[in-house]
Every structure is written in structure tokens, then in C-alpha cells.
């Protein structure tokens, strides 16, 4: 097995290194020229979910990639989702790519953010991309999703509004209250930085934007 380290990100010394188990992984990522659907699981915090409702020719035009760490990969093999006897790293439609665990953050949530926002760097030749959080299961063909939300509307990106909060401050307070993030001081500093740089509560004056807070579980 040939191991390749590929720097991901804008910085030369990016802490996020993708460990390619095979040279073909890198070739395949660069060869994905249409739509790429990307997700990630770190720390075995989610289960892999197969998309539903795929069209007959969808896999001819869309690539599906799931980035995982060593812990998650071991669980896949423990539950016989991946065989140790085959070199193919694939579960259903998802092609599995292992990330070098020694270069990851301790918090799995922070690791997931990196490929989420750097899809364009990892798949430089893809025309379109869809990020799907591992907790989400696609129930609509991603090609239909892409056409109805982006191509038909002639926009660059589609993202849904947050189901509960319209202002970033509300979500930050809820995150601290429900202890979804352990470092409350870092949340406070982050919000203070936003406010110092002009963040204002959402109001009707900001129409046509229906909310100042977005849900980024799916990015098209």
C-alpha cells in the first residue's frame, strides 16, 4: 500500500493531511469533474447513511466521498462494513478516504469543519459540490437538489435558514446553555469579535434574507 500525504487548505503548513491509502484515491478526486457529494465522520460519532432516491444515471454524474479517521475506520471494519481482504474502500455509494489521525484536532466537530469548507480545494476540478453532515440522510437525488436550488435559480450557493434562531447570538447562547461546546469563553470571544466587526441582529431591513442565522448541515 502506498501512502501519500496531500496538503489541504490555503496554508502550506495546513494541519489537515489526507492520508491516501492508494494512489487511485487522489486520481479519482481530481477526476471528479461534475458533482461531488462530500461528508465526514470523525471519532465514530455518527453512522454512515446511504442516500435514497438516486436516479438511474446519478452515479454516472456524481461522486460520493466520505472522510473518516482511524477510529471510525476500525468501527467500519468491526461491523463488517469494510473488508480487510479487499483494497477497495467503499461502502454503498460512498468512497471512503482515511484522514491522518495524528494531524487532527482533539474535537471531532472541528475536524469535520475543515473538509466541509475546503471541498473546492480537495476536488479542484468538480463543477458543483454538496456537503452533507453525517447526521443527515439525503432523501432526494442530489442532481435534482442541485438543479432546483442552484442551477434553476441561477445562484452560486444554496443554504437553508436555521430552524429555530434568526440571529447568531441566539444560537451562541443556546450552544452554551445546552453545553454543545465546552469552551464557553471561546464562544463569548467569537461573538464579541463578530459584533466588533459590525454584526447586527437580524431585522426586516435585511430582506430578502429571511434570517441572519443559517443551518449549514447541507451546503449546495
Sign of CA dihedral 8, 13, 14, 19: positive
Report residue 124 as a C-alpha cell. 479542484
- pLDDT, tens digit, 9 for 90 and up, residues 44-87: 888 899 999 998 899 999 999 999 888 898 888 888 888 776 67
- What's the chain's average pLDDT? 78
Mean pLDDT of 40-47: 88
What's the half-sphere exposure (Cβ side, CA atoms, 13 Å) at 202?
17
**Euclidean distance between CA atoms 15 and 105, whole angstroms:** 9
Q: Is the pLDDT of residue 108 over 80?
A: no
Residues making up the chain, counted from first to last = 220
**What pLDDT is stored for residue 166 in this prediction?**
67
Secondary structure (3-state) at 118: coil
Residue 14 has pLDDT above 60, yes or no: no
Place of cell 456524481: 62
Global confidence as pTM: 0.79
Q: Judge if the upstream peptide bond of residue 208 is cis by omega within 30 degrees of 0.
A: yes
CB atoms within 10 A of CB 25: 20
Instruction: Assess contact for 40 and 111: CB atoms under 8 A.
Output: yes
pLDDT tens per residue, range 132-143: 988 889 999 999
Quickly list DSSP for 25-90.
HHHHHHH--SEEEEEEE-TT-S------S--TTHHHHEEEEEEE-HHHHHHHHHTTSS-SS-S--E
Amino acid at each position: 500500500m502506498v501512502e501519500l500525504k496531500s496538503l489541504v487548505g490555503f496554508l502550506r503548513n495546513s494541519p489537515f493531511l489526507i492520508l491516501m491509502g492508494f494512489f487511485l484515491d487522489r486520481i479519482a478526486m481530481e477526476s471528479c469533474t461534475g458533482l461531488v457529494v462530500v461528508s465526514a465522520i470523525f471519532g465514530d460519532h455518527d453512522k454512515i447513511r446511504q442516500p435514497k432516491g438516486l436516479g438511474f444515471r446519478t452515479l454516472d454524474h456524481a461522486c460520493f466521498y466520505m472522510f473518516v479517521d482511524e477510529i471510525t475506520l476500525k468501527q467500519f471494519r468491526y461491523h463488517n462494513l469494510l473488508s480487510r481482504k479487499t483494497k477497495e474502500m467503499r461502502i454503498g455509494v460512498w468512497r471512503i478516504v482515511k484522514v491522518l489521525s495524528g494531524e487532527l484536532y482533539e474535537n471531532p466537530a472541528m475536524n469535520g469543519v475543515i473538509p466541509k469548507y475546503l471541498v473546492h480545494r480537495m476536488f479542484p476540478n468538480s463543477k458543483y459540490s454538496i456537503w452533507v453532515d453525517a447526521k443527515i440522510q439525503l432523501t432526494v437525488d442530489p442532481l435534482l437538489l442541485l438543479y432546483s436550488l442552484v442551477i434553476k435559480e441561477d445562484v452560486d450557493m444554496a443554504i437553508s435558514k436555521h430552524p429555530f434562531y434568526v440571529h447568531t447570538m441566539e444560537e451562541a447562547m443556546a450552544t452554551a446553555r445546552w453545553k454543545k461546546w465546552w469552551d464557553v469563553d471561546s464562544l463569548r470571544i467569537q461573538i464579541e469579535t463578530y459584533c466588533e466587526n459590525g454584526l447586527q441582529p437580524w431585522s426586516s431591513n435585511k430582506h430578502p434574507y429571511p434570517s441572519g442565522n443559517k443551518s449549514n448541515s447541507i451546503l449546495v
